[in-house]
Amino acid sequence: MNDDLRDLLHQLNNQLGIILAHAELLEARAGDEAGRARAAQVVASVLDAMGTTREIRLRFISGHEPVDLSQS
């Protein structure tokens, strides 16, 4: 089961990476401040989601103690 979970988390992280790249591109090309702010929010949310996938991998696959991601 750990291999299945690892594969799913890897796939999710790849998909989030694609979303992140597009959001960063939208942020850079936004024509107004409102567009940049919306894209920046997507970037921040994707980075949070990537951190969550990392935390899941650490807790449930690697067996590490929980990490407080709010401190990083």
CA dihedral 53, 11, 36, 48 (to 10 degrees): 0
CA 49/CA 28 separation, integer angstroms:
21
Residue, of 66 and 58, whose pLDDT is higher: 58
Dump pLDDT digits (tens) for 11-58.
999 999 999 999 999 999 999 999 999 999 999 999 999 999 999 998
pLDDT for the residue 66: 62
Indicate if the pLDDT at residue 71 is higher than 90: no
- Tell me which of 1-5, 46-50, 68-72 is least confident: 68-72
SS3 labels along 17-60: HHHHHHHHHHHHHCCCHHHHHHHHHHHHHHHHHHHHHHHHHHHH
Domain boundaries, the chain: 2-61
